[in-house]
Amino acid sequence: MLVQQILSRQGFHSSTFLLKDNKTDKPKGTGFEKFFNKDGDSQKKDDNVEKKSSEASESNKKSTEKNKKVEFEWNFKIPSASQSEKFFKDNPDSQRSLLMILGVGVFLAYMYIQSLSAQRIKMTWKEFVQKYLVSNQVESIVVDEKTAVAKVSSLPDKVIVFEIGSMESLEHNLENIQNELGIDFHNRVYAQYASSNTLSKNLPRIFDIALMVGLTYFILRRMGRGMPGAGMGPGRSGPGRPGRGGGIMGGMNPFSAGESYAKVIKQGDINVSFKDVAGCEEAKIEIMEFVNFLKSPAKYEELGAKIPKGAILSGPPGTGKTLLAKATAGEASVPFISVNGSEFLEMFVGVGASRVRDMFETARKNAPCILFIDEIDAIGRKRSSGGGISGNSEADQTLNQLLVEMDGFNTAGANVVVLSGTNRSDVLDAALLRPGRFDRQIYVGLPDIKGRSSIYKIHLAPLKTDLDKAVLARKMAARTPGFSGADIMNVCNEAALIAARNGATQVEDKHFGAAIDRVIAGLEKKSSVLQPREKKTVAYHEAGHAVVGWFLEHADPLVKVSIVPRGKGLGYAMYQPQEMFLYTTEQIIDRMCMTLGGRCAEKAFFDQITTGAQDDLQKVTQMAYSQVTQYGMSEAVGQLSFQSEGNQLNKPFSEDTGRLIDEEVRRIVNEAYERTLNIINDKKDLVEKLALRLLEQEQLERNDLIAVLGERPFKEKSTYEDFVEGTGSDEEDTELPEGLKDWNKKDDVKEAATS
């Protein structure tokens, strides 16, 4: 009652105390409700504040007469970290207000320290004596270690600061000077000693340390939000192990630097299956065998077979290595753990090896499981030989730990299959590739024409078109030799984009043709300005390529010629290469002559050459050197092969042999040039006729070429049926081996039982 009367006299009708009535248990006030009105009449309550204050004494009397017992309950609680996080997440304005308050506080503290510094005037002992001590203005001198602070009468708001040698020398100098001035002992100034542990002296130092710690925390906090695994909630490692997110430091916790970024993918997270993979049936069967072993190990163990420890998927970019891994994750009924090889590379020594240990620890906890390491060449490169500054001890340490984890003393009984993908299997360490670690090396190469047809069927399925997709897939497969799965997906997507750009309601055959041109030759530059002389030169140059290739037996069939600039080129001739794995000397020479057709046409018609044949000359030079140094097709050099390893300093042959190689290459190129020039001179009228047609139409299709040059005198293959003739079947063989035909039967039984 007494406390209530005191609060009433002071006007505290609502406070941080909670007043409860024992009879009704109704709160008298819980905070600042008098400033907020749910019914919208807050203005009315504000007007009655003064009236309520005047009636405070009367309410006290009434409460006394009713003899009510009042309890006080302290209603202040310190919020937990999760409550604070949730509060600031739900109230971003409060977070900004708190940051503004902290910023203002730091600014005021800084200004206070600056004001303290502004009140101190630094000078030497000699200046202090001449200005203030001689004129008897000094009121006091306080010494703190090697610094003296003097207060003078002429500067009441400031102090004088000067350095001293020692306390004894200061006292001696003060006594001598004041004796000379004749100051009596009652008015003399004496030095006083003060303790150095004063708050005012240490405050700037404390503030600097606090500011540095605060900035470091803020930077780490901001960096942690941008890192994988930062923030609240479970970590990247998935179930079964502590996460990297959350905590006071979020994703930048220095104590979690050695934790792996391996992510456990649950079944159903990835909607890719083996039916979405085509063009690499052999590699798919190899991977399906891993999944089948983990699903049904009994039939393998009965025969005494052991599951392979791992497999490396290697091959050119875009052939489907990562897609196979995704399909494995989508089909596997066991945990699938994914990690990138570059995530083991850090600037801190020992972090890579620690993350490898943590990754395999996670894998063993989830065994049986599949562990996929993408781009393993980042950590699996050949170890440096010997010490010295050229060695990379951190990378070697990470690789050594990987070798131990894959086949070491602690790997017995661990049912963990390791898959990896790389484009550079040639740079991997030999110890990593040996059986017992990666038992299988699966090469995923570029798809053949049957594989391309299967891939086209997958990517044509979602496109809106009236064309027969099965026939279209075969046609596109024949027109795009050497394309990878990624290139095929890009062609289908570009065709749909071009159709939408042109306002078409469906994707037509011309859109697919334009998409192939876009992927092979680059973006069409219709706005590019060419001078008439340059345009004429480009037309004769491309006509030379077309005519020479048309009348050479082993040259690729010509599909299209254009002088519309695309990409980096001013014109292009598109051929349909045949899928061949073996080439004879005559076939290579014919390809060289076809490539030199543009340069010979410039020489024959304009009696001068231009820089437009630079790319052609590079190709011709490479083909000639390959004949001499790799394929053993030169009688002078003999049956020798020297593998090229880039810009190597020590060549594997002598200077005399190098001189002989250069002479042979020059001879081969000159003979091809003379042969091409003779063809251009013999067919000069056809070259000119084709060039003039190009200047008129700018782009000629195969029918236009036949109209100008006549039928080609050699038999050529151009359709899908021509290319697959004699190969056994028209489609890709997708039949599974007998032991894998029921590889997903177990899942089907489970689904049927569930339904």
> 501-505: which pairs have CB atoms within 8 A and are 24 or more residues apart?
505/464
Which contacts (CB < 8 Å, 24+ apart) does range 377-380 have? 377/341, 377/422, 377/423, 377/424, 377/425, 377/427, 377/428, 378/340, 378/341, 378/342, 378/344, 378/345, 379/341, 379/344, 379/345, 379/352, 380/341, 380/420, 380/422, 380/428, 380/429, 380/432
- Select which of 281, 343, 494, 542 is catalytic: 542
**420 has which bridge partners?**
312, 373
Q: Higher confidence at residue 686 or residue 198?
A: 686
Tens-digit pLDDT profile for residues 595-616: 999 999 999 999 999 998 899 9
* pLDDT value of residue 231: 42
- Give the mean pLDDT of 349-364: 85
Helix residue ranges, H only, 630-683? 655-682
Query: Residue 425: how many CA atoms within 13 Å on its side-chain side?
Result: 19
| Span 23-46, pLDDT tens digits | 344 444 444 444 444 444 444 444
CA dihedral 245, 246, 250, 256 (to 10 degrees): -60
Q: What is the pLDDT of residue 96?
A: 63
Query: Can you read off the two tokens belonging to residue 396?
Result: 């070697």
- The percent of the chain in helix, strand and coil, each rounded to the nearest 5, is 50, 10, 40
Q: How far is residue 455's CA from residue 490's CA, in Å, rounded to a whole number?
A: 12
Q: Comparing 31-45, 291-305, 363-377, which segment has the lowest mean pLDDT?
A: 31-45
pLDDT tens digit sequence for 651-672: 788 889 989 999 999 999 999 9
Classified as helix, coil or strand, 315 is coil
The reply to whether 542 belongs to the active site is: yes
CA distance 352 to 340: 12
What single-letter DSSP state applies at residue 367?
Answer: -
Is it the case that residue 18 has pLDDT exceeding 90? Answer: no
Q: The domain 449-520 is classified under which CATH number: 3.30.1130.10, 3.40.50.720, 1.10.8.60, 3.30.230.10?
A: 1.10.8.60
Which residues pair with residue 122 across a beta bridge?
Answer: 161
Domain 257-443 has CATH 3.40.50.300: yes
The pLDDT value recorded for residue 685 is 94
**What is the arrangement of strands in the sheet containing 147-152, beginning at the earlier edge strand?**
120-122, 159-163, 147-152, 138-144, 191-193
pLDDT at 644: 65
Alpha-carbon distances, residue 173 vs 131, 141, 179, 228, 663 (angstroms) = 16, 13, 10, 68, 97
For the chain, the straight-line distance linking the first and the last C-alpha, in angstroms and rounded, comes to 71
What confidence tens digit (pLDDT) does each residue in 267-288 have?
Answer: 677 788 888 888 888 888 888 8
**Residue type at 632 in one-letter notation:** G
What number of residues does the chain have? 755
| Architecture in CATH of 119-194 | 3-Layer(aba) Sandwich (3.40)
The whole-number pLDDT of residue 8 equals 40
Domain boundaries, given as residue ranges, for the chain? 2-74, 119-194, 257-443, 449-520, 532-719
The fold adopted by the segment(s) 532-719 is Methane Monooxygenase Hydroxylase; Chain G, domain 1 (1.20.58)
Predicted TM-score of the model (pTM): 0.66
